[in-house]
Amino acid sequence: MTYKNEFQTSIEKPEIFWEQKAKDITWFTFPEKILSKNENGFYRWFEGGKLNTSYLCLDYHVENGRAEQIALIYDSPVTNTIQKFTYQELKNKVALFAGLLASKGVTKGDTVIIYMPMIPEAVIAMLACARLGAIHSVVFGGFAAHELAIRIDDAKPKLILSASCGIEFDRVIPYKPLIDAALMEAEFEPDFHIVLQRPMKLAELESEKEIDWNQALLSVEPHSYVPVDAHDPLYLLYTSGTTGKPKGIIRDNGGHAVAMKYSLTSVYDTHAGEVFWAASDIGWAVGHSYIVYAPLISGCTTILFEGKPIRTPDAGTFWRIIEQHRVKTFFTAPTAIRAIKKEDSEGKLFANYDLSSLKYLFLAGERCDPSTYEWVKDLLQVPVIDHWWQTESGSPMLANMAGLGLKTVKPGSSSTPVPGYDIQIMGEDGQILDTHQEGYVVIKLPLGPGCLPSLWKDDERFQKSYLSRFEGYYLTGDGGYKDEENYFYIMGRVDDVINVSGHRLSTGEMEEIVAADPAVAECAVVGIADKLRGQRPVALVVLKDGKDISQAEIEKQLIQSVRDKIGAVAYFKSAILVKRLPKTRSGKILRKIIRNIADGVHFEIPSTIDDPKILDEIREVLRENKIGSEFDDG
User: What pLDDT, in 10s, does the model give residues 493-533?
Assistant: 776 677 786 666 778 889 989 999 999 999 999 999 887 77
What is the structure's pLDDT at 507?
A: 86
Q: Using 50, 70 and 90 to split pLDDT, how confident is the model at 450?
A: very high
Q: What is the mean pLDDT of residues 228-257?
A: 88
Handedness of CA 600, 465, 156, 293 (dihedral sign): negative
Q: Could you tell me which residues are beta bridge partners of residue 72?
A: 85, 302
Q: Could you tell me which residues are beta bridge partners of residue 439?
A: 480
What is the structure's pLDDT at 243?
A: 52
Q: For residue range 469-492, list pLDDT tens digits in order.
A: 999 999 998 899 999 999 999 987
CATH 3.30.300.30 in the chain: give the residue spans.
501-631
**Residue whose C-alpha is closest to residue 121's, from 156, 76, 177:** 76
Q: Using 50, 70 and 90 to split pLDDT, how confident is the model at 241?
A: low
> Is residue 328 within 8 Å of 360, Cβ to Cβ?
yes
Query: Residue 82, Cα to own-chain centre: how many angstroms?
Result: 24
Lowest mean pLDDT among 11-15, 129-133, 411-415, 564-568: 564-568
Compute and round to an integer the Cα radius of gyration of the chain. 24
d(CA 347, CA 355): 13
Q: What is the mean pLDDT of residues 180-187?
A: 95
Secondary structure (DSSP) of 275-311: EEEE-S-TTSHHHIIIIIIHHHHTT-EEEEE-S-SSS
CATH 3.40.50.980 in the chain: give the residue spans.
87-226
Q: For residue range 78-113, list pLDDT tens digits in order.
A: 999 999 999 999 999 999 999 999 999 999 999 999
Q: Using 50, 70 and 90 to split pLDDT, how confident is the model at 213?
A: very high
CATH code linked to domain 87-226: 3.40.50.980
What is the structure's pLDDT at 242?
A: 53
**472: Cβ contacts below 8 Å, ≥ 6 apart:** 444, 445
> Is residue 261 within 8 Å of 268, Cβ to Cβ?
no
Secondary structure (DSSP) of 163-200: ESEEEETTEEEESHHHHHHHHHH-SS--SEEEEEPBTT
**614: Cβ contacts below 8 Å, ≥ 6 apart:** 580, 581, 582
Instruction: Look over the chain and give the mean of its residue pLDDT values, rounded to a whole number.
Output: 94
What is the structure's pLDDT at 228?
A: 98
Helix (H, G, I), strand (E, B) or coil at 259: helix
Q: What is the mean pLDDT of residues 618-630?
A: 92
> Is residue 535 within 8 Å of 499, Cβ to Cβ?
yes
Helix (H, G, I), strand (E, B) or coil at 566: coil
d(CA 543, CA 440): 33
> Is residue 46 within 8 Å of 449, Cβ to Cβ?
yes
Q: What is the mean pLDDT of residues 251-262?
A: 98
What is the structure's pLDDT at 265?
A: 98
Lowest mean pLDDT among 63-77, 183-197, 341-355, 357-371: 357-371
For the cut 80, the answer to whether the pLDDT of residue 246 exceeds it is no
Q: What is the mean pLDDT of residues 313-339?
A: 95
Q: What is the mean pLDDT of residues 384-392?
A: 95
**Domain 501-631: homologous superfamily in CATH:** ANL, C-terminal domain (3.30.300.30)
Q: For residue range 34-52, list pLDDT tens digits in order.
A: 999 999 999 999 999 999 9
| Residue 580, CA distances (Å) to 82, 93, 342, 366, 368 in order | 31, 42, 11, 17, 18
DSSP secondary-structure letter at 447?
A: P
**Taking the model in full, what pTM does it have?**
0.88
**50: Cβ contacts below 8 Å, ≥ 6 apart:** 27, 28, 29, 227, 228, 229, 230
Helix (H, G, I), strand (E, B) or coil at 344: coil
d(CA 141, CA 175): 8
d(CA 66, CA 85): 12
Q: Using 50, 70 and 90 to split pLDDT, how confident is the model at 169?
A: confident
* Own/partner pairs, 171-175, CB within 8 angstroms, 24+ separation: 172/200, 172/201, 173/141, 173/142, 174/201, 174/203, 175/115, 175/141, 175/142, 175/203
What is the structure's pLDDT at 142?
A: 62
Q: For residue range 421-449, list pLDDT tens digits in order.
A: 999 999 989 999 999 999 999 999 999 99
**Residue whose C-alpha is closest to residue 164's, from 150, 147, 179, 149:** 179
d(CA 338, CA 593): 21
What is the structure's pLDDT at 508?
A: 85
**Residue whose C-alpha is closest to residue 120's, from 179, 70, 168, 170:** 70
Q: Using 50, 70 and 90 to split pLDDT, how confident is the model at 633?
A: low
User: For the chain, how many helices (H) and strands (E)?
Assistant: 20, 29
